[in-house]
């Protein structure tokens, strides 16, 4: 079983180049099947979730090829309409193919993705919105068949919660619908805007992405496009937290600062010095001892991101004083807490609330990652723990980080994969 071995206590100094955003590239790759022409996706991160998405595209009949950081997709020969269960199980977000596949082929068959590491993740908002657009669902033996019915017609959809995945699925289903679709209480995450920017480059007519109300005027046809994926804001937060706990002085280049509006104040409150150069490069200098934070509540964007919660928790576990974290998005997003306790953290969880009592130092131990950001939080903790930390569960980490050990080694961490 592969493990990351970290000798804690090394100071991080130097420059970090950010990968492309995982949560952007996945829906954008699904979107490439909406046209029959080639698309070139630039700044495509090398992640296991991207590898599975490429497998799905190939399975459906697309031709794909990687040229450095560019992924080229030719969807002209797409000829299948089902996504096998093995893919759905490997990557829950393959549900994102549903809207695109039905729009391109008239029907699709998928299996239900089942549970996930973050607790039950219902898909009711995806299905009810797609139904409102005129799609018909049949469910049996764990499979879902979805067809166009009498065609996809623009509709007014109101989401009871701004779900990221549901907003994306509805955009993908509606870009070629007849008429105008409005999605009210849409998710406002930057990755939604990235998806819409790619689709608009392909000839779609989407307005308001990144805001609460998205308006989509259906078009008959889309063409291919060359498009560059935005930088990964959660990877940025990961490296900021890593530098904060490891007496760091790092420069993260080509970052989108607006995407970090809700987290930069937390780093500043903790005593980190943040400097911005040329509007897109962020320097973080860690204090001698981090300070605790006032209450942090995870919220839909532009609020504090749930994906950053485990990372900031690892950081606050060595801050002076107590901090409170309230997880409002996912039910089971504290699985990393037990492992942080093994490293010597003092954290109490009651329902959705965690109280983090900062300790002076953590001490290295064997720990196991249970989900993507929880495993990254263990890396952050391991960087400042005394002695050796061994982290297993790397399949989770590899879903979302491109060579995290290489990136951290380059700035001085003692971290290797065995
Ligand atoms: C996406 C991100 C994930 C991030 C999350 C929240 C991708 C690939 N993943 O996940 O990294 O943590 O947004 O920012 O982009 N819900 C329902 N019914 C639905 C759909 C969602 O009740 O039909 C609930 C979920 O159970 C959860 C909440 O809504 O409690 C947020 O989920 P959602 O925004 O849909 O997250 P994902 O798109 O799955």
What's the per-residue H, E or C state across the chain?
CCCEEEECCCCCEEEEECCECHHHHHHHHHHHHHCCCCEEEECCCCCHHHHHHHHHHHHHCCEEEEECCEEEEECCCCCCCEECHHHHHHCHHHHHHHHHHHHHHCEEEEECCCCCCCCCCCCHHHHHHHHHCCCEEEEECCEEEEECCCCCECCEEECCCCCHHHHHHHHHHHCCCECEEEEECCCCCHHHHHHHHHHHHCCCEEECECECEEEEECCCCCCCCEEECCECHHHHHHHHHHHHHCCCEEEEECCCHHHHCCCHHHHHHCCCEEEEECCCEEEEECCCCCECCCCEEECCCCCECHHHHHHHHHHHCCCECEEEEECCCCCCCCHHHHHHHHCCCEEEEECCEEEEECCCCCECCEEECCCHHHHHHHHHHHHHCECEEEEECHHHHHHHCCCHHHHHHHCCCEEEEC
Q: Which of 196, 228, 260 is the last residue of a domain?
A: 228
Convert the pLDDT of each residue in 56-101 to its tens digit: 999 999 999 999 999 999 999 999 999 998 898 888 888 999 999 9
pLDDT, one tens digit per residue, over 238-269 is 999 999 999 999 999 999 999 999 999 999 99
Strands across the sheet with 205-207, in order? 156-158, 180-184, 213-217, 205-207
Q: Give me 5's structure tokens.
A: 């071995």
> Range of 219's domain?
22-228
In total, how many domains does the chain have? 2
Q: Report CA(312)–ligand 1 centroid distance (Å).
A: 20
Indicate whether residue 181 lines ligand 1 (CB < 6 A): no
Same domain, 171 and 192: yes
Q: Give residue for tokens 């900031």.
A: 312
What distance in Å separates the CA atoms of residue 252 and residue 55, rounded to the nearest whole number? 32
Co-location of 213 and 260 in the same domain: no
Range with the lowest mean pLDDT among 151-160, 265-274, 343-352, 391-400? Answer: 151-160
Give me the active site residues, please. 116
On average, the pLDDT of the chain sits at: 95
Q: Does residue 342 share a domain with residue 218?
A: no
Q: Is the CB of 246 under 6 A from ligand 1?
A: no
pLDDT above 90: residue 162: yes
Residue 116 has pLDDT above 80, yes or no: no
Q: Do 203 and 330 have their domain in common?
A: no
State the pLDDT confidence band at 117, using cuts at 50, 70 and 90: low
Q: Per the structure block, which two tokens stand in for 33?
A: 């099947």
The answer to whether the pTM exceeds 0.95 is: yes
Q: Is the CB of 68 under 6 A from ligand 1?
A: no
Q: Say if residue 355 is in the same domain as residue 329.
A: yes
Does pLDDT of 115 surpass 60?
A: no
Please give the distance, rounded to the nearest whole angstrom, from the Cα atom of residue 365 to the centre of ligand 1. Answer: 32
Average pLDDT over residues 177-183: 95
Asked whether the predicted pLDDT for residue 128 surpasses 90, the reply is yes
235 Cβ below 6 A of ligand 1: no
Q: What is the CATH number of the domain that holds 286?
A: 3.65.10.10
What pLDDT does 15 receive?
A: 98
Say if residue 196 is in the same domain as residue 238.
Answer: no
- Range scoring the smallest mean pLDDT among 49-58, 61-70, 145-154, 368-377: 145-154
Residue 120 is predicted with a pLDDT of 61
Determine the atom of ligand 1 nearest the C-alpha atom of 161: 29
Ligand 1 contact, 122 CB (< 6 A): yes
pLDDT exceeds cutoff 60 at 313: yes
Is residue 34 within 8 Å of residue 171, measured between CB atoms? no
Could you tell me if 411 and 335 lie in one domain?
A: yes
Ligand 1 closest atom vs CA 22: 8
**246 and 355 assigned to the same domain:** yes
Give the pLDDT confidence of 218-230 residue by residue, as tens digits.
Answer: 999 999 999 999 9
Q: Which of 195, 228, 261 is the last residue of a domain?
A: 228
Q: What is the whole-number distance in angstroms between the Cα of residue 163 and the centre of ligand 1?
A: 5
User: Which residues, in sequence order, are CB contacts of 215 under 8 Å at separation 6+?
Assistant: 180, 181, 182, 206, 207, 208
As a whole-number percent, the residues of the chain with pLDDT over 70 amount to: 98
Compute the average pLDDT of residues 372-385. 98
The answer on 264 and 156 residing in a single domain is no
Whether residue 215 is found in the same domain as residue 276: no
Q: Predicted confidence band at 118 (pLDDT cuts at 50, 70, 90)? A: low
My answer on whether 391 and 257 are in the same domain is: yes
241 and 134: one domain?
A: no
Answer whether residue 314 shows pLDDT above 70. yes
Per-residue pLDDT at 154: 82
pLDDT at 77: 97
Question: To the nearest whole percent, how much of the chain has pLDDT over 90?
Answer: 90
Domain boundary among the residues 165, 200, 228 is at 228
Q: Using the atom order of ligand 1, give the atom closest to the CA of residue 306.
A: 12
């Amino acid at each position: 079983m592969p493990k990351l071995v970290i000798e804690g206590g090394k100071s991080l100094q130097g420059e970090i180049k950010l990968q492309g955003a995982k949560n952007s590239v996945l829906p954008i790759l699904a979107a490439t099947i909406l046209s029959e022409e080639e698309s070139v996706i630039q700044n495509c991160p090398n992640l296991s979730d991207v590898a599975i998405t490429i497998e799905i595209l190939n399975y459906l009949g697309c031709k794909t090829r990687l040229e450095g950081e560019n992924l080229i997709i030719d969807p002209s020969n797409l000829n299948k309409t089902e996504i096998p269960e093995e893919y759905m199980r490997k990557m829950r977000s393959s549900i994102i193919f549903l809207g695109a596949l039905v729009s391109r082929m008239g029907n699709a068959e998928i299996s239900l993705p089942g549970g996930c590491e973050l607790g039950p993740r219902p898909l009711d908002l995806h299905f009810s919105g797609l139904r409102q657009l005129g799609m018909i669902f049949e469910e049996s033996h764990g499979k879902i068949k979805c067809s166009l019915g009498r065609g996809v017609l623009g509709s007014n959809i109101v989401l009871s919660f701004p779900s990221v995945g549901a907003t994306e699925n509805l955009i993908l289903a509606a870009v070629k619908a007849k008429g105008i679709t409005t999605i009210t209480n849409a998710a406002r995450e930057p990755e939604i805007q990235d998806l819409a920017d790619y689709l608009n480059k392909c000839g779609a007519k989407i307005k308001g992405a990144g805001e609460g109300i998205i308006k989509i005027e259906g078009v008959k046809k889309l063409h291919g496009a060359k498009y560059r994926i935005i930088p990964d804001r959660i990877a940025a937060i990961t490296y900021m937290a890593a530098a904060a706990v490891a007496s760091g002085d790092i420069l993260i280049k080509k970052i989108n600062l607006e995407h970090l509006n809700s987290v930069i104040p937390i780093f500043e409150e903790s005593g980190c010095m943040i400097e911005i150069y040329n509007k897109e490069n962020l320097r973080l200098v860690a204090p001698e001892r981090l300070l605790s934070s006032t209450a942090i509540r995870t919220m839909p964007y532009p609020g504090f991101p749930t994906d950053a919660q485990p990372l900031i928790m690892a950081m606050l576990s060595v801050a002076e004083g107590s901090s409170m974290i309230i997880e409002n998005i996912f039910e089971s997003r504290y699985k990393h807490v037990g492992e942080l306790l093994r490293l010597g953290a003092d954290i109490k969880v009651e329902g959705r609330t965690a109280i983090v009592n900062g300790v002076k130092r953590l001490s290295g131990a064997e720990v196991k990652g249970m989900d993507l950001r929880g495993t990254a939080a263990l890396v952050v903790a391991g960087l400042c723990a005394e002695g050796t930390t061994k982290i297993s569960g790397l399949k989770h980490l590899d879903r979302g980080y491109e060579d995290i050990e290489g990136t951290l080694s380059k700035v001085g961490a003692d971290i290797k994969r065995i």
